[in-house]
A and B are shown apart, each in its own frame.
Chain A
Amino acid sequence: MSEETPKRIAIIAVHGSLDMAYPPLILASTAAAMEMEAGIFFTFYGLDIINKHKNKSLGVSPIANPAAPMPVPNIIGMLPGMTAVATGMMKNWMGKQNVASIESLLEMCRMGNVKLIGCQMTMDVMGVKESDLIEGVEVGGAATFLDYATDASIQLSF
């Protein structure tokens, strides 16, 4: 049903943990498949999702997450190595359900022409260069994202 102006979704990804990386990528790639325009603004820790040196090793914290399928008392979650354990468990569960990897969801976003915007200020603060980011990322600031989001019928923040 191609209307003259495609619907648009504007998403903000603020967190760099594995569980928080999935929702923006799943929604943006699906929006593109539904013939909507989709864009994600990666800011603060969310920048890690498009940092090619970091996005293959995103983790999950076992601390303060009572909703985890196997909740761990915070005092245990504090022990060294527990983040790796929680991350391994989550990857295992997701693998069993054949959930796509972060890399392949990013690839599907790019195939769907999802606009990926890296936050310039975050890059400056964290010493991240444009060459550290995956291909196809546009770098911009708050005004760049707001300009995009102004014409969006859906705005979400993760």
Chain B
Amino acid sequence: MADKILDCKGLSCPEPVLRTKMAINELEAGQILEMSATDSGSANDIAAWAKRTGNELLESSEADGVYTFTIKKG
């Protein structure tokens, strides 16, 4: 399903955002990145980052302290 999987679990702000950006750079428009993180700030941060960079946050969820994001490259 996802074209790329990125594990940012255990990393603190700002690394999940920085690594997400680097991973998105490697994808083509329309491709999907799935990122997981344990930084609770990343729920808001990834949404803000996606809004500003024109990438689409398709899904954002949390289970057992792990936040999972599905992002479509814009």
Beta-carbon contact of A26 and B52 below 8 Å: no
Minimum CB–CB distance for A9 against chain B, Å: 12
Residue of A nearest to B52 (CB): A34
* Per-position 1/0 for B1-38, Cβ under 8 A of A: 00000000011111101101110000000000000000
* Per-position 1/0 for A76-108, Cβ under 8 A of B: 000000000000000000000111100000001
Residue of B nearest to A94 (CB): B12
Beta-carbon contact of B18 and A29 below 8 Å: yes
Instruction: Please classify the interface of chain B as helix (H, G, I), strand (E, B), loop, or mixed, using the class held by over half of its residues.
Output: helix
Residue of A nearest to B21 (CB): A33
Beta-carbon contact of A1 and B18 below 8 Å: no
Partner of A30, one of B12, B18, B74: B18
Partner of B18, one of A2, A33, A36, A98: A33
CB < 8 Å A-B pair total: 43
Residues of chain A contacted by B10 (CB below 8 angstroms): 98
Residues of chain B contacted by A97 (CB below 8 angstroms): 12
Beta-carbon contact of B14 and A29 below 8 Å: yes
Beta-carbon contact of A35 and B13 below 8 Å: no
Minimum CB–CB distance for B33 against chain A, Å: 14
A37, B10: Cα distance in complex, Å: 28
Beta-carbon contact of A1 and B53 below 8 Å: yes
Beta-carbon contact of A26 and B14 below 8 Å: yes
Partner of A33, one of B11, B49, B51, B74: B49
A99, B41: Cα distance in complex, Å: 13
A29, B54: Cα distance in complex, Å: 18
Residue of B nearest to A108 (CB): B18
Beta-carbon contact of B53 and A34 below 8 Å: yes
CB-defined A-B contacts under 8 Å, sample of 9: A1-B52, A26-B14, A33-B20, A33-B49, A34-B21, A34-B49, A100-B12, A100-B14, A100-B15
The 9 closest A-B pairs by CB, nearest first: A1-B54, A33-B21, A30-B14, A34-B52, A99-B12, A97-B12, A26-B14, A33-B18, A35-B53
Q: Which B residues have a C-beta under 8 Å from some C-beta of A? A: 10-15, 17-18, 20-22, 48-49, 51-54, 74
